[in-house]
Amino acid sequence: MGYGKGKGKVRDEFLDYCISRVDPEDRGSLRQNLLPLSRLLATRLRYKDGFLRKMGIEMDQEGWTDLGQVLALDDFSRWTSMDVREVVQEAPKAPLFAACVAGILAGYVVLRRWWWSRKLPPGSMGWPLLGETLSYVSGQEEFIAARLLKYGGTFKSNVLFVPTVFLAVTESNAKLIHSKRDLGWPAHFKKVMGETSVPMVNDPLHKRLRNTSTRAFTNQQLDLYLPVLHKLSAKYLKEWAAQGTSEPRDVYFQIKKYAFECGQAVILGSAVTESELDHFMHLFDTAIAGLGCVLPVDLPGFPFHTCMSARRQLGQECQKVIQRRREALQASPQPTCMLDAMLGSEEGTSDHELQDFCVSMTFAGHDTTLASIHTTLRWLKQCPELAAGLRAEVDEIWDGSAPITRGLLESIPKTRAFIQEVWRKTPPVSPIVRNLAEDQEVDGFVVPKGWNLSYYPARQFSKADDWDEFRPSRHLDEEGQFIDSTHEATLFESFGGGSRMCIGYKFARDEMLTFLMVFLKHYDMSLASSTHTPFPFNFYRLEGSFCERARTEGGA
């Protein structure tokens, strides 16, 4: 019997033979000892030197020999159970076991790498761990467009510490990414945002929570929010204009507070007081900083602990509001805010889920609109002729004091087209991402389970004509009616798509339109500078000051 041949057979023969040689009462324990040993060694055993010499078996320098030699020995049949036990005791079980496992694992890793490297799209994975993250965060659009061009379409990279395949901009790839449902956020994101928050969870929890949350975004609910948005736009713009100075200043925090209050008033209701609002904003900002913690350890002394303490407090504050809204709904069942719509849900949403709803909607809705308002004002100031056209459109349909209604928002197609062009040209969130729950074939490549797929109709790869031109009229038809491109996935992907599409996109549009109507009707801004900030939200940060429109244009 040759060395290395018929290992299974050799093993079985050896085992059976040994067993047949020992006392019947010893057989159970001998089998127990021999089985793992023979499985691991297959055809090789290590013998005590003296024993092997006595048997006349040759060894290599390290004291190994061939089991075939042992079985071929004539006098093997004369081995006693003691001889067999000696063999068993001398066999080096543990080191060999470890060596075998390590060898198998190393082989597996090498083979898997080799196999995937043949199937993966082209591209560079960058530095170990860091990948190409730095180039990515310094300009996602440029990063993606440059590589789509270089690799002729779909390419791989490693960004934000996750191996990622960026998809070529095609209808089929847009469909593919929209058909995927899973997001692969780091575990600490979930702690910060809430274990039951819609943007963090995957199916089946995602499906249930998302279904319940859509109650807050029905057309009927959205109409309820318009007076709140109108009131807050009027209040803040008036305040900013009153503070107006000839000295330009960073308007980021002014606009942030406006966007935050709009979110809170619509999510939690107008019962939130001014001091509660400031407290909420502080807690919220401290908690959200946890997303960027490199060491997400929730123990005293770690920065993440401070963030999580704020997050726990935020949950408690939300709970107080939930209680208040419950009582208010008992007195008058008419819903006034998103939380009311959730409380009216028949599907039994727990208080914990309600708290996470409030936090996650604030997160998803407030920085995105904050970024959009900055960028809209920047484009307005860049394009004075377009701005004049929009003012004329608003002047024509609104006296500046009547309530802003759905009807009014729908009669300003140029303004709607303007906002859509702002979102096409400078999308606040980009690109959209899904995590793969199983291996996926894409454009003839295979992307392994656990990787991210990313899709973004960047620059010249967008299907927009003259993609670099800021031209709102592209969103108007021949009769001047607004063309909604929200679902045109090769042109416009600012709100994503499929079962994870932005749940608040209609509300975001209402907020932008309401703000813009009040601004265009009554106010103006002198812009000193605008600085492009690509990450984490893509927008232009502004320096300037607000003033009443009459001062620059001689009256509206």
Per CB under 6 A, 40 contacts ligand HEM? no
Binding residue per annotation — 358? no
Distances (CA, A) of 236 to 229, 241, 259: 11, 9, 10
Single out the segment in contact with ligand HEM by CB under 6 A; choices: 107-115, 248-256, 474-482, 503-511. Answer: 503-511
Q: CA end-to-end span of the chain, whole Å?
A: 103
Single out the segment in contact with ligand HEM by CB under 6 A; choices: 55-63, 105-113, 223-231, 424-432. Answer: 424-432
Site for ligand HEM in 168-197 (CB under 6 A): none
Per CB under 6 A, 507 contacts ligand HEM? yes
Site for ligand HEM in 473-502 (CB under 6 A): 494-497, 500-502
We find the least distance from the C-beta atom of residue 551 to ligand HEM, in angstroms, to be 30
- What DSSP letter does each residue of 465-531 carry, written as one string? TTTTS--GGGGB-TTS-B---TT-TTT--TT--GGGS-TTHHHHHHHHHHHHHHHHHHEEEEEEEEE
Per CB under 6 A, 369 contacts ligand HEM? yes
> Of 308 and 508, which CB lies nearer to ligand HEM in the complex structure?
508
We find the least distance from the C-beta atom of residue 248 to ligand HEM, in angstroms, to be 25
The Cα–Cα gap between 212 and 194 comes to 16
Other Cβ atoms within 10 Å of 410 Cβ, number:
12
Per CB under 6 A, 504 contacts ligand HEM? yes
Residue that is written with structure tokens 């560079």 in the block: 124
Region for 82 from its dihedrals, namely left if φ exceeds 0, alpha if ψ lies in -120 to 50, beta otherwise: alpha
| Amino acid sitting at position 550 | A
> Of 151 and 470, which CB lies nearer to ligand HEM in the complex structure?
470
- What DSSP letter does each residue of 377-401 carry, written as one string? HHHHHH-HHHHHHHHHHHHHH--SS
Per CB under 6 A, 432 contacts ligand HEM? yes
We find the least distance from the C-beta atom of residue 64 to ligand HEM, in angstroms, to be 58
Q: Which residue number is nearest to ligand HEM in terms of Cβ?
A: 496
> Of 302 and 505, which CB lies nearer to ligand HEM in the complex structure?
505
> Of 48 and 210, which CB lies nearer to ligand HEM in the complex structure?
210
> Of 158 and 360, which CB lies nearer to ligand HEM in the complex structure?
360
Site for ligand HEM in 349-368 (CB under 6 A): 360-361, 364-365, 368
Q: Are 15 and 30 in contact (CB under 8 A)?
A: no
> Of 495 and 540, which CB lies nearer to ligand HEM in the complex structure?
495
Which residues share a beta bridge with 543?
A: 250, 529
Q: Are 233 and 376 in contact (CB under 8 A)?
A: no
| Amino acid sitting at position 430 | S
Applying CB under 6 A, among 18, 45, 169, 198 the residue interacting with ligand HEM is: 198
Q: Which helix (H) or strand (E) holds 446?
A: strand 445-447
> Of 143 and 456, which CB lies nearer to ligand HEM in the complex structure?
456
Applying CB under 6 A, among 310, 412, 458, 503 the residue interacting with ligand HEM is: 503
Residues recorded for the chain: 556
The Cα–Cα gap between 393 and 521 comes to 10
> Of 147 and 424, which CB lies nearer to ligand HEM in the complex structure?
424
Q: Are 125 and 158 in contact (CB under 8 A)?
A: yes
Other Cβ atoms within 10 Å of 95 Cβ, number:
8
β-pair type (155-159, 162-166): antiparallel
Which of 58-89 are b and which e, b meaning 16 or more Cβ less than 10 Å from the residue's Cβ? eeeeeeebbbbbbeeeeebeebeeebbbbbbe
Judged by CB under 6 A, how many residues of this single chain contact ligand HEM? Answer: 24
Query: Rg of the chain's alpha carbons, rounded to an integer?
Result: 34
- CA angle in degrees (0–180, nearest 5) for 470-475-477: 135
> Residue 384 has which token pair?
């004075």
Single out the segment in contact with ligand HEM by CB under 6 A; choices: 27-35, 249-257, 397-405, 426-434. Answer: 426-434
> Of 212 and 360, which CB lies nearer to ligand HEM in the complex structure?
360
We find the least distance from the C-beta atom of residue 313 to ligand HEM, in angstroms, to be 22
Residue that is written with structure tokens 């103006």 in the block: 524
Per-residue contact string for residues 92-111; x = within reach of ligand HEM by CB under 6 A = --------------------
Per CB under 6 A, 370 contacts ligand HEM? no
Applying CB under 6 A, among 174, 237, 259, 429 the residue interacting with ligand HEM is: 429
Per CB under 6 A, 234 contacts ligand HEM? no
> Of 10 and 342, which CB lies nearer to ligand HEM in the complex structure?
342
Which residues are documented as binding site for heme? Answer: 502
Question: Using CB under 6 A as the criterion, which residues of the chain lie in contact with ligand HEM when the complex forms?
Answer: 198-199, 210, 360-361, 364-365, 368-369, 372, 428-429, 432, 494-497, 500-504, 507-508
Residue numbering of the annotated binding site: 502
